Amino acid sequence: MIKHPRFATFFVLASLFAGLAVQAAMPIPKEPDVGARGYLVEDFLSGRAIAEKNADEPMEPASITKLMSAYVVFKEIRDGSVSLEDKVRISEKAWRTEGSRMFVEVNTTVSVADLLKGLIIQSGNDATVALAEHIAGTEEGFAGLMNHHAERLGMTRSHFVNSTGLPDKEHYTTARDIVKIARVMIDEFPEYYRWYSEREFTYNKITQYNRNKLLWRDASVDGLKTGHTESAGYCLVTSAEREGMRLISVVLGTRSEEARADATQSLLSYGFRFFETHKLYDADTKLATTRIWKGVRENVDLGLNQALYVTIPRGEYKNLDASLQLQEQIIAPTAAHQALGQVVVRLDGELVAEKDLVALQAVDEGSFWQRIVDEALLYFD
C-alpha cells in the first residue's frame, strides 16, 4: 500500500490506483548472459538499470560516437547557427575518410539535412566529417564541442577525439554514458529522432540500408545506432517502446552483426517481460500542504519538479510504500521550487526512488508582527 503522512491529500493516494489492475508477482530470473564486453538496459522514464555488465568501463564506441556528433548538430540547428537547408562543401578530407560512406563527392555541396540522414541512416563517415567541418571549421574543433556537451550532460567517463568513432586510444565512452546521450536525443529532439527508425536512404542514386537489423525484426524498435571496428567489435544502441514503457539498450563488443542484434533482443525481451514502469506522481501537482512559519501565509503546497516514475518487477506494485519526509521546521521566505523535503519510494524495504519535495509557490517573509507571533509559537512547539 502507498502510505502518506497525515497531511497528504487523499486524491494523491487515489490517483495511484485508479484504473490499475493489480497483477500477481512473478519470479524474476537472472538477466540473460549475452556475449558482449559490456551492456546496459535502462528504463527511459525512471532511469532504472534493469540489466548491466561493465556499464561504467570505458570502451571503444565505434560509430555509436555519431550519436554525440548528431547531438551537436541538432543543438546548433536549435540555436540558429545552422539550418537544415545550409549547403555544405565537401572537403577532400571528408571525401577521403575511410570506413562506411554516404558517397558524397569532393568539392560538391550537400544540404545539412541530407548529410544528417547520411550520418544517421547510412552511418557515413564522410557525411559526419563534412558536418563537423561545417560547424567547427575542423574535425578537431568539433571534437572539442562534443567533449563540452558530454561534460554538460554528465557523461563523466567519455572522451572524443573525432566525430566518426574511428579507433583511437583516447577515444572512449561507457554503456552508461551512451544511455545518457540516447535519452537526451529522444527527449530533446523528437523531430529528428524519427530519422533513426528509417530503414534506407538514397543519395547520388545509391541506396543504403540501416544496419540496425532490429528495425526489421521488432516493430517496437525505433532507433538508434550501430557501430563496428575491428578493435571495438560489433556494437548497438537501441530504443524500443511497448505499451508506454520505453527501454534503452546498449550492447558493446560482440562478435558479429547477428550477435549484437540477438544480444539486444534478449535484453529487451527480458526487460519488457519481467518489469513494468508506473508514474506515481505528476510534476507541479500538490502532494501535501504543510505549515510555514514567519511568512505572509501559514501554509505552503508541496510537490515535485518532475514526474516521478518507478520501474519494478511485474506484479509488485501493491507492495510499494511511498512516504513524504519534510524538514522539521520550514521558515519563510521560501522560493518556488525550493527543496523542503523528499518523496521516498520503497519496495519491500528497498529504496526504489527518491526525489526532492519542493515548494509549489514562493512564500515571502511576513510582517514584523507575524514574525514575532510565530517566533513565540515556535518556542512552545
DSSP 253-312: EESSHHHHHHHHHHHHHHHHHHEEEEEEE-TT---EEEE-BSBSSSEEEEE-SS-EEEEE
Condensed to tens digits (0 to 9), the pLDDT of residues 260-295 reads 999 999 999 999 999 999 999 999 999 999 999 999
Q: Is 213 a catalytic residue?
A: no
Q: If you average pLDDT over every residue of the chain, what do you get?
A: 92
* pLDDT range class, residue 197, cuts 50, 70, 90: very high
pLDDT of residue 25: 66
pLDDT of residue 23: 59
C-alpha cell at 333: 521566505
Contact 275, 27 (CB under 8 A): no
Q: Which residue's entry shows cell 570502451?
A: 59
pLDDT of residue 6: 34
Q: Is the dihedral of CA 37, 310, 244, 152 positive or negative?
A: negative
Spatial distance between the Cα atoms of 232 and 252, rounded to a whole number of angstroms: 8
Written out in words, the top-level CATH class of the domain with range 10-19+280-380 is mainly beta
Q: Is 63 a catalytic residue?
A: yes
Q: Is 66 a catalytic residue?
A: yes
Condensed to tens digits (0 to 9), the pLDDT of residues 32-58 reads 989 999 999 999 999 999 999 999 999
* pLDDT range class, residue 246, cuts 50, 70, 90: very high
C-alpha cell at 161: 577525439
304: how many CB neighbours lie within 10 A of its CB? 20
**CA nearest neighbour of 271 among 251, 289, 285:** 251
Spatial distance between the Cα atoms of 117 and 75, rounded to a whole number of angstroms: 16
Contact 223, 199 (CB under 8 A): no
C-alpha cell at 324: 513524504
pLDDT of residue 366: 85
Condensed to tens digits (0 to 9), the pLDDT of residues 338-376 reads 999 999 999 999 999 999 999 999 999 988 888 888 788
Lowest mean pLDDT among 104-118, 224-238, 258-272, 319-333: 319-333
Which of the residues 66, 117, 213, 294 is marked catalytic? 66
Q: 101 vs 4, 98, 192, CA distance in Å? A: 58, 8, 21
Preceding amide of 224 cis, omega within 30:
yes
C-alpha cell at 96: 577521403
Whether 38-254 and 10-19+280-380 are alike in CATH topology: the answer is: no
For 349-355, the CB contacts below 8 A with 24+ separation are 352/48, 352/310, 352/312, 352/320, 353/46, 353/280, 353/308, 353/309, 353/310, 355/304, 355/305, 355/306, 355/308
Contact 178, 250 (CB under 8 A): yes
Query: Does the pLDDT of residue 336 top 60, yes or no?
Result: yes
Which of the residues 63, 163, 239, 249 is marked catalytic? 63
For 334-338, the CB contacts below 8 A with 24+ separation are 334/292, 334/295, 334/300, 334/359, 334/362, 334/363, 335/359, 335/362, 336/360, 336/361, 336/362, 337/305
Q: What is the pTM of this model?
A: 0.89
Which of the residues 46, 91, 100, 123 is marked catalytic? 123
pLDDT of residue 17: 43
* pLDDT range class, residue 24, cuts 50, 70, 90: low
pLDDT of residue 380: 75
69: how many CB neighbours lie within 10 A of its CB? 29
CATH tag, 38-254 = 3.40.710.10
Spatial distance between the Cα atoms of 97 and 182, rounded to a whole number of angstroms: 25
Within the chain, where are the H helices?
10-17, 66-78, 92-96, 112-120, 125-136, 139-152, 175-188, 190-193, 214-217, 257-274, 368-380
Extents of the domains making up the chain: 10-19+280-380, 38-254
pLDDT of residue 212: 96
